[in-house]
């Protein structure tokens, strides 16, 4: 599993500066980070659903339901577009 930014910071501070947090503070930070990740995922999904159409059972999205429409995006490309709108 990938290391979260909270875990990375905790490890960095602990190893390099011998600085430690209480386990309660670490758990609170992890909960906040998880909540932020969930909120971002929900906002992104709603943005995709409101502005784009999924092309069948694929990861291709378009502004129209027309398969012949030239401008199509992958989910990853839409994520990059969405990040720029924030």
* Residue ranges making up the domain that contains 30: 1-38
Per-residue pLDDT, averaged over 4-8, amounts to 81
Q: CA geometry: angle at 72 spanning 66 and 47, to 5°?
A: 95
Same domain, 59 and 31: no
Long-range contacts of 67-71, Cβ-Cβ distance < 8 Å, separation of 24 or more = none
Same domain, residue pair 58 and 32: no
Q: Give me the percent of the chain exceeding a pLDDT of 90.
A: 14
If one counts the domains in the chain, the total is: 2
pLDDT at 44 over 80: yes
Q: Does residue 12 form part of some domain?
A: yes
């Amino acid at each position: 599993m990938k290391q979260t930014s909270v875990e990375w910071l905790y490890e960095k501070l602990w190893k390099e500066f011998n600085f430690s947090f209480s386990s309660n503070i670490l758990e609170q930070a992890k909960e906040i980070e998880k909540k932020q990740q969930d909120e971002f995922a929900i906002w992104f999904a709603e943005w995709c659903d409101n502005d784009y159409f999924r092309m069948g059972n694929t990861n291709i999205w378009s502004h129209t339901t027309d398969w012949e429409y030239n401008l199509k995006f992958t989910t990853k490309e839409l994520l990059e577009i969405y990040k720029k709108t924030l």
